[in-house]
Copies of this chain bind each other. A is one copy, B any other.
Amino acid sequence: MKKGVLYMIPSPIAAGAETDALTERVREVLGRLDHFIAEDVRTVRRFISKAATGRDIGTLCFAELNEHTRPEELEVLIAPLLAGQDAGMVSEAGLPGIADPGADLVLLCHRHGIRVVPLSGPSSLLMALMASGLNGQSFAFNGYLPVKPPERAKAIRRLEQRASTERQSQIFIETPYRNVRVLEDVMSACRAGTLLTVAADISGPAEFIRTMTVGEWRKAPAPPIHKVPAVFVIL
User: Do the beta carbons of B121 and A120 come within 8 Å of each other?
Assistant: yes
- In angstroms, Cα B212 to Cα A4, docked, is 19
- In angstroms, Cα B158 to Cα A197, docked, is 28
User: Do the beta carbons of B103 and A209 come within 8 Å of each other?
Assistant: no
| CB contact list, A116-137 vs B, under 8 A | 116-123, 125-137
The stretch of A32-40, A138-146, A183-191 in contact with B is A138-146
This chain: copies in complex: 2
Does A110 belong to the interface (CB within 8 Å)?
A: yes
User: Do the beta carbons of B118 and A209 come within 8 Å of each other?
Assistant: yes
Provide the residues of chain B in CB contact with A130, threshold 8 Å. Answer: 8, 95-98, 102, 106, 118
User: Do the beta carbons of B118 and A128 come within 8 Å of each other?
Assistant: yes
Does A100 belong to the interface (CB within 8 Å)?
A: yes
- In angstroms, Cα B197 to Cα A110, docked, is 10
User: Do the beta carbons of A139 and B141 come within 8 Å of each other?
Assistant: yes
Does A24 belong to the interface (CB within 8 Å)?
A: yes
Number of A residues contacting the other chain (C-beta, 8 Å)? 63
- In angstroms, Cα B137 to Cα A166, docked, is 21
The stretch of A15-23, A53-61, A79-87, A222-230 in contact with B is A15-23
Partner of A136, one of B23, B100, B139, B212: B100
User: Do the beta carbons of B95 and A126 come within 8 Å of each other?
Assistant: yes
Provide the residues of chain B in CB contact with A138, threshold 8 Å. Answer: 140-143
- In angstroms, Cα B127 to Cα A134, docked, is 21
Partner of A20, one of B23, B104, B129, B133: B23
User: Do the beta carbons of B107 and A133 come within 8 Å of each other?
Assistant: yes
Closest-CB distance, A86 to chain B (whole angstroms): 14
Counting from the closest, the 3 A-B pairs by CB-CB distance are A107-B133, A106-B133, A120-B122
Sampled A-B contacts (14; CB under 8 Å): A13-B120, A20-B120, A21-B120, A22-B24, A97-B130, A107-B133, A108-B133, A110-B211, A116-B209, A118-B128, A118-B130, A119-B203, A137-B143, A139-B140
